[in-house]
Amino acid sequence: MSAPLADRIRPRALSEMVGQEHLLGEGALLRRIAQGGSIPNMIFYGPSGVGKTTAARIIAASAGKKLERLNGTTASTGDIKAIIAGLSGFDALGGVILYLDEIQYLNKKQQQTLLEFIEDGSITLIASTTENPYFYVYNAILSRSTVFEFKPVSAPEIQRGLGRVAKVLREDAPGLEIEDGVIPHIAATCGGDVRKAVNALELAYLGACAGEGPRRITLADAQAVSQRSAMRYDREGDEHYDLLSALQKSIRGSDPDAGLHYLGRLLEAGDLLAPCRRLLVIAAEDIGLAYPMAMAIVKACVDAARELGLPEARIPLAQAVVLLATAPKSNSAYLGIDAAIADIRQGKAGPIPRCLQNRHCDGADAAVKGQFYQYPHDFPGHWLPQQYLPDLLAGAVYYQYGSNKTEQAARAYWEAIKGK
Q: Closest Cα partner for 80 from 59, 42, 51, 107?
A: 107
Q: Where are the domains of the chain?
A: 20-149, 155-225, 238-326, 354-401
State how far Cα 120 lies from the chain centre.
35
| pLDDT, tens only, 115-161 | 988 888 888 899 998 888 888 888 889 999 999 999 989 989 999 99
Specify the CATH number of the domain 238-326. 1.20.272.10
pLDDT value at residue 234: 59
CA dihedral 74, 136, 237, 225 (to 10 degrees): -50
pLDDT of residue 1: 44
pLDDT at 231 over 70: no
**CATH for 155-225?**
1.10.8
Q: Is the pTM of this model over 0.75?
A: no
- Cis omega before residue 311 (within 30°)? yes
pLDDT of residue 107: 87
The amino acid present at 85, given as its one-letter code, is A
CA–CA–CA angle 192, 198, 202 (5° rounding) = 150
Answer whether 72's CB lies under 8 Å from 102's CB: yes
Condensed to tens digits (0 to 9), the pLDDT of residues 75-84 reads 888 888 888 8
Q: What is the 3-state secondary structure (H, E, C) of the chain?
A: CCCCHHHHHCCCCHHHCCCCHHHHCCCCHHHHHHHHCCCCCEEEECCCCCCHHHHHHHHHHHHCCEEEEEECCCCCHHHHHHHHHCCCHHHHHHCEEEEEECHHHCCHHHHHHHHHHHHCCCEEEEEEECCCHHHHCCHHHHHCCEEEECCCCCHHHHHHHHHHHHHHHHHHCCCCEECCCHHHHHHHHCCCCHHHHHHHHHHHHHHHHHCCCCCEECHHHHHHHCCCCCCCCCCCCHHHHHHHHHHHHHHHCCCHHHHHHHHHHHHHCCCCHHHHHHHHHHHHHHHHHHCCHHHHHHHHHHHHHHHHCCCCCHHHHHHHHHHHHHCCCCCHHHHHHHHHHHHHHCCCCCCCCHHHCCCCCCCCCCCCCCCCCCCHHHCHHHCCCCCCCCHHHCCCCCCCCCCCHHHHHHHHHHHHHHCC
In the chain, % of residues over pLDDT 70: 90
Contact 300, 323 (CB under 8 A): no
Q: Are 172 and 133 in contact (CB under 8 A)?
A: no
Rg (alpha carbons) of the chain, rounded to whole number: 31
Backbone angles phi, psi at 211, to 5 degrees: -100, -175
Q: Rounded to whole angstroms, how far apart are CA atoms 58 and 181? A: 32
More confident residue, 328 or 372: 328
pLDDT tens for each residue of 183-228: 999 998 888 888 888 888 888 888 888 767 778 888 888 888 876 5
Kindly indicate the confidence band of residue 62, based on its pLDDT and cuts at 50, 70 and 90.
confident
- Domain 20-149: which CATH number of 2.40.110.10, 3.30.930.10, 3.40.50.300, 3.30.70.20: 3.40.50.300
Q: Cβ atoms within 10 A of the Cβ of 342, count?
A: 11
> 174: buried, middle or exposed (CB in 10 Å: 19+, 13-18, 0-12)?
exposed
Residue pair 330/402 in contact (Cβ under 8 Å)? The answer is: yes
Lowest mean per-residue pLDDT among 85-99, 153-167, 393-407: 85-99
Burial class of residue 45 (count of CB atoms within 10 Å of its CB; 0-12, 13-18, 19+) = buried
What residues form DSSP beta bridges with 100?
70, 127
